[in-house]
């Protein structure tokens, strides 16, 4: 016991100051991209073969980058001769509508939480039920680490609960295989109102690299209505925490 107390005193206060201070991000972190397709050709608008998830597509003859499908890999910047895609260090990626994840210009400030009564319910306390729907465990690991002393999401009144009957929100990760459809639907229906759903990671938003496969449903929205989208593969824990704090109205 004495050794444990001594070690704890040496460690000191370990919880990060975020959101009051600047977040500590790894050197290789790739966040919200800045895109400039003004120099791109018509062929670029058809999508770039370098993208493994098909995140680049065309809209009105112009290229668009879908963050809901993007894996945030370095392939696009490396393959583009015009530097059309540049990843910034902005970790704020969460969006309350699927359309807001499709970008075609400079990086912009993320939109705030919609002013709806059901979101006001979770202003002081957010109880989350987590469902892994065929994920690789990477997104789940970054959700779980938010409960450690370094991030301590409990200081914001955010906790993971064991039963959907105690949950305000449902976090879904993975592309949602067909054999998880019924389980996910039952979990959602077991929750009390307002039944907020959060899709975490490219797979849960769009199917990710598994999109179009006959065995998956291309994300949570195929089974339950999604209120908050947190892109990434996997999203950084601070990206997830930022989305949860926006949901509760703290940011």
Give, in order, the Cα–Cα distances in Å from 154 to each of 119, 132, 161, 177.
19, 21, 12, 31
pLDDT of residue 43: 60
**Can you say whether residue 46 is alpha, beta or left, with left for phi > 0 and alpha for psi between -120 and 50 degrees?**
alpha
Question: CB neighbours of 177 closer than 8 A, spacing ≥ 6?
Answer: 133, 134, 215, 216, 217
pLDDT of residue 41: 61
Cα Rg of the chain (Å, integer) = 19
- pLDDT digits over 120-138, tens only? 889 889 999 999 999 999 9
pLDDT of residue 248: 93
What six digits make up the tokens of 155? 């200081």
Average confidence (pLDDT) over 220-230:
97
Higher-confidence position of 134 and 104: 134
* Distance of alpha carbon 74 from alpha carbon 178, whole angstroms: 31
Average confidence (pLDDT) over 199-210:
95
For 133, phi and psi rounded to 5 degrees?
A: -110, 70
DSSP letter assigned to residue 91: -
Residue 48's pLDDT band, with cuts at 50, 70 and 90, is: low
* Distance of alpha carbon 197 from alpha carbon 222, whole angstroms: 12
Say if residues 53 and 110 touch (Cβ distance below 8 Å): no
Domains and CATH numbers, the chain: 33-90 (3.30.70.20), 117-247 (3.40.50.12280)
Average confidence (pLDDT) over 165-193:
97
Q: Out of 41-45, 184-188, 216-220, which region has the weakest mean confidence (pLDDT)?
A: 41-45
Higher-confidence position of 156 and 6: 156
Is the pLDDT at 116 greater than 80? The verdict is yes
pLDDT of residue 210: 92
What six digits make up the tokens of 24? 């500590």
Is the pLDDT at 42 greater than 70? The verdict is no
Is the pLDDT at 59 greater than 80? The verdict is no
Average confidence (pLDDT) over 208-232:
95
Average confidence (pLDDT) over 230-247:
96
* Distance of alpha carbon 81 from alpha carbon 236, whole angstroms: 28
Average confidence (pLDDT) over 230-235:
96
Is the pLDDT at 34 greater than 80? The verdict is yes
Instruction: Tell me whether strands 102-103 and 62-66 are parallel, antiparallel or unpaired.
Output: antiparallel
* Distance of alpha carbon 230 from alpha carbon 243, whole angstroms: 7
Is the pLDDT at 7 greater than 90? The verdict is no
DSSP letter assigned to residue 59: E
pTM of full prediction above 0.85? yes
pLDDT of residue 47: 53
Average confidence (pLDDT) over 215-230:
96
Say if residues 66 and 101 touch (Cβ distance below 8 Å): yes
């Amino acid at each position: 016991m004495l050794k444990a107390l001594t070690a704890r005193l040496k460690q000191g206060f370990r919880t990060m100051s975020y959101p009051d201070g600047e977040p500590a991000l790894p050197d290789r972190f790739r966040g919200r991209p800045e895109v400039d397709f003004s120099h791109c050709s018509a062929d670029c608008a058809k999508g770039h073969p370098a993208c493994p998830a098909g995140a680049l597509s065309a809209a009105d003859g112009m290229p668009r980058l879908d963050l809901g499908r993007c894996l945030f890999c370095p392939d696009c910047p490396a393959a583009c001769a015009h530097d059309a895609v540049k990843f910034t260090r902005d970790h704020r990626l969460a969006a309350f509508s699927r359309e807001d994840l499709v970008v075609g210009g400079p990086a912009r400030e993320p939109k705030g939480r919609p002013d709806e009564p059901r979101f006001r319910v979770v202003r002081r306390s957010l109880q989350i039920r987590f469902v892994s729907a065929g994920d690789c465990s990477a997104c789940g690991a970054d959700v779980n680490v938010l409960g450690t002393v370094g991030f301590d999401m409990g200081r914001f009144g955010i906790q993971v609960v064991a039963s959907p009957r105690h949950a305000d929100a449902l976090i879904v990760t993975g592309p949602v295989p067909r054999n998880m459809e019924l389980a996910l639907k039952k979990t959602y229906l077991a929750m009390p109102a307002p039944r907020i759903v959060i899709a975490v990671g490219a797979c849960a938003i769009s199917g990710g690299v598994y999109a179009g496969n006959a065995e998956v449903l291309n994300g949570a929205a195929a089974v339950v209505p999604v209120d908050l989208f947190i892109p990434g593969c996997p999203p950084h824990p601070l990206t997830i925490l930022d989305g949860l704090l926006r949901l509760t109205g703290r940011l």
